[in-house]
Chain A
Amino acid sequence: MTTAGATHEVAVIPHGPTDVLRHSWVLAKRSLVKTWRTPEGLIDVTLSPIMFTLLFAYIFGGAISGSVQDYLPLLVTGIIGQNIAFASVGIGIQLNADMEKGIFDRFRSLPISRIAPLFGAVLGDVVRYVLLISIMVGTGYALGFRVGTDIWHFLGGVVLAIIFALSLAWGPMLIGLLARSQRAVQGIVFMTLFPLTFASNAFVPTESMPDWLAAFANANPLSHLVQALRALWNDPALGTVAANDGQWQSPVAWTLLWCAIFVAVFAPLAIRAYNRKA
């Protein structure tokens, strides 16, 4: 009944250490419902990567690899890397909107962990990235791309890409919490992401770059992800394209290290920004 007051006749689950996970899941469900309801919000993980693939394949394919077919093994992995980076702006914008509309105030006035709204947002994004990777691989297949290894290497690559996406997301989340408008979030995130995506091995071999740029590109976290995906997915027999003869352990380790760095640096800052926001 709707009696208020000191008597709490509410059938509640006792508070405990699993609260964070359960609350994060409740908030992830919120993102999922919204994703489901506004499918046009998925353009950045569906139509845009297809457009990028087609444009890049036919514009750069001949120049970089001699033909579209030879460029595809490079391109499909490169586009996945690029679009994972670009898609991360969405979470920053979402958080900024939540803050502006006062929904975060509601969450902050509830007895839930302060991590839950942020963790829930990241969790809810998994679906977007699964969709992105499926669509990219599908588009690649339609154009003639083939995974040259086996299903386990392929799935390993998918999981690695999603881990990378969820780790990278803490950066745009931090910007989303600090920036004063959604437009600002978009501007700041893209300004950082453009050098990250293009000064990498995603679209062109880094050997063609000047030394200083190649050095940056080789250290670039996105390059490590793309390299790991190529090693996991491409047929080692392709040699020059895979460029590392199927040795995936090292790029995977580097990618995971970068993931750990992203989370270690940006997650505490994002949580702090969330707690401080007046």
Chain B
Amino acid sequence: MPSDIAVEADGLVKSFKDTKALKGVSFQVPRGTVLGVLGPNGAGKTTAVRILATLLRPDAGRAIVAGHDVVKHPSEVRKRVGLTGQYASVDEELTGRENLVMIGELLNMRPSIAKGRAAELLDWFDLSEAADKMAKNYSGGMRRRLDLAASLTGHPEIVFLDEPTTGLDPAKREDMWDVVRDIVARGTSVLLTTQYLEEADALADDIVVINHGEVIAHDTAERLKRVVGSQTLRVRPAEPDTGDAVRAILADVATDGAQVDQPRNGEFSVPVRGDAALADVVGRLRAASIEVTELSLMLPSLDEVFFTLTGERNRTAPGASDATEEVDA
């Protein structure tokens, strides 16, 4: 039956041997929107997705996906969802086209329809040229796109994307984001897990932050960023005796009269709001003829989200350059 809620998780609990992967996780995905599930490795993101995609049964709690209970009517759910795992689950020894035709036929499409749908998806995902090459010869980005195409074969109402860009380089990540936006524009509801605040910010209408199997925040990206705080501007003057002048410039652009931190290794840092501060500082430094060896604007990291939300440094949270993979299932 049609409802305004595409996905509803209600108190999901799941344990594996002695680890409690989920300790009562609840959230909703309104129809036609994107929910970003943000969390570090081992937070329980993948476990939640696997329960919603009917691959795992919850120990307790309830989940309604596309109007059907995942435990009571899994095959009704499966008819209406697409799943893209963080490990691209395509058959490497088949070509891209064969993979998609196979999925189509498994979805009961007539062979000619399955072929047509495969061609359509290959075209959409820029894979037409490589369509008849074996998937093992695809690059990481192509494989992700093929995997995503496979999960869209049956025109699902809801798509689960489990860390769709983990391990992709930044340019490929942006491509993937465009594809996700495209899917959403066609009316599909999306549940996306990610380790990157930036990604959730770029794609999600709402963000759920989970850690150690619990939801620790559920908010819009905007508000979450406001909670987390501002960006940090860092400047390292070339000459130590220009330090006071640098400090004065930074104090001027600081958010709401925030203090300039004591220099660490000769580096000053100050919280700022917006990119304009960066240009402002560059201009003033030049006007004052102060040379700097380092100048950078840091976005709030996932680490800072957790620091703000939990008050504890989350040691498992990955840094920006870290592309470790989640192994929580």
**Closest Cβ of chain B: how far from A67's Cβ, in Å?**
45
Of B54, B82, B94, the contact of A30 (CB 8 Å cutoff)? B94
* Tally of chain A residues near chain B (CB < 8 A): 37
Knowing A105-B89, A111-B79 touch, does A6 contact B154 (C-beta < 8 A)? no
**Scoring A residues 156 to 188 as 1 if CB is less than 8 Å from chain B, else 0, what string do you get?**
000000000000000000000000000000000
Complex CA distance for A38 and B134, rounded to whole angstroms: 12
Complex CA distance for A278 and B156, rounded to whole angstroms: 23
Knowing A3-B187, A109-B78 touch, does A12 contact B108 (C-beta < 8 A)? yes
* Tally of chain B residues near chain A (CB < 8 A): 49
- A contacts with B: majority SS: loop
Contact A106 B83 (CB under 8 A): yes
Complex CA distance for A27 and B154, rounded to whole angstroms: 17
Contact A26 B110 (CB under 8 A): no
**Closest Cβ of chain A: how far from B135's Cβ, in Å?**
10
Knowing A5-B188, A11-B109 touch, does A108 contact B55 (C-beta < 8 A)? yes
B152 proximal to A (CB < 8 A): yes
Contact B87 A101 (CB under 8 A): yes
Closest to B88 in A: A102
Closest to A15 in B: B108
Complex CA distance for A19 and B88, rounded to whole angstroms: 26
**Scoring A residues 4 to 41 as 1 if CB is less than 8 Å from chain B, else 0, what string do you get?**
11101111111100010011001101100110011000
Contact A5 B108 (CB under 8 A): no
B105 proximal to A (CB < 8 A): yes
Complex CA distance for A10 and B103, rounded to whole angstroms: 13
Knowing A10-B107, A12-B107 touch, does A3 contact B186 (C-beta < 8 A)? yes
Of B16, B87, B187, B188, the contact of A102 (CB 8 Å cutoff)? B87
Contact B188 A111 (CB under 8 A): no
A142 proximal to B (CB < 8 A): no
**Closest Cβ of chain A: how far from B280's Cβ, in Å?**
45
Contact B120 A26 (CB under 8 A): no
Contact A26 B106 (CB under 8 A): yes
Which chain B residues lie closer than 8 Å to A141 at the CB level? none
**Closest Cβ of chain A: how far from B40's Cβ, in Å?**
20
Which chain B residues lie closer than 8 Å to A265 at the CB level? none
Q: Which of B73-102 contact A (CB under 8 A)?
A: 75, 78-79, 81-83, 85, 87-94, 98, 102
Knowing A4-B187, A30-B94 touch, does A12 contact B110 (C-beta < 8 A)? yes
Contact B91 A3 (CB under 8 A): no
Which chain B residues lie closer than 8 Å to A55 at the CB level? none
Contact A109 B109 (CB under 8 A): no
Knowing A2-B120, A103-B91 touch, does A10 contact B109 (C-beta < 8 A)? yes
Closest to A116 in B: B106
Which chain A residues lie closer than 8 Å to B323 at the CB level? none
**Closest Cβ of chain B: how far from A223's Cβ, in Å?**
37
Of A10, A34, A109, the contact of B94 (CB 8 Å cutoff)? A34
* Chain B CB within 10 A, most for which of A2, A14, A108, A109: A109
Which chain A residues lie closer than 8 Å to B108 at the CB level? 12-15, 19, 22
Complex CA distance for A159 and B249, rounded to whole angstroms: 88
Contact B113 A278 (CB under 8 A): no
Closest to B79 in A: A111
Complex CA distance for A103 and B98, rounded to whole angstroms: 14
Closest to B188 in A: A4
A52 proximal to B (CB < 8 A): no
A194 proximal to B (CB < 8 A): no
B170 proximal to A (CB < 8 A): no
Contact A37 B93 (CB under 8 A): yes
A237 proximal to B (CB < 8 A): no
Of B90, B113, B186, the contact of A2 (CB 8 Å cutoff)? B186
Contact B109 A5 (CB under 8 A): no
Knowing A5-B157, A38-B93 touch, does A30 contact B50 (C-beta < 8 A)? no
B71 proximal to A (CB < 8 A): no
Contact B150 A278 (CB under 8 A): no
Which chain A residues lie closer than 8 Å to B78 at the CB level? 109-111
What are the 10 closest A-B residue pairs judged by CB atoms, nearest first?
Answer: A102-B89, A111-B78, A5-B187, A109-B83, A106-B89, A12-B108, A11-B113, A111-B79, A102-B87, A4-B188
8 new A-B contacts at CB < 8 Å, known A2-B186, A101-B89, A116-B106: A8-B155, A10-B109, A26-B105, A34-B91, A37-B134, A109-B81, A109-B82, A278-B329
Q: Report 23 cross-chain contacts, Cβ distance below 8 Å, ordered by A residue.
A: A2-B186, A3-B187, A4-B183, A4-B187, A5-B157, A8-B155, A12-B113, A14-B108, A19-B108, A38-B93, A101-B89, A101-B91, A103-B89, A106-B150, A107-B106, A109-B55, A109-B78, A110-B103, A111-B75, A111-B79, A112-B106, A116-B106, A278-B16
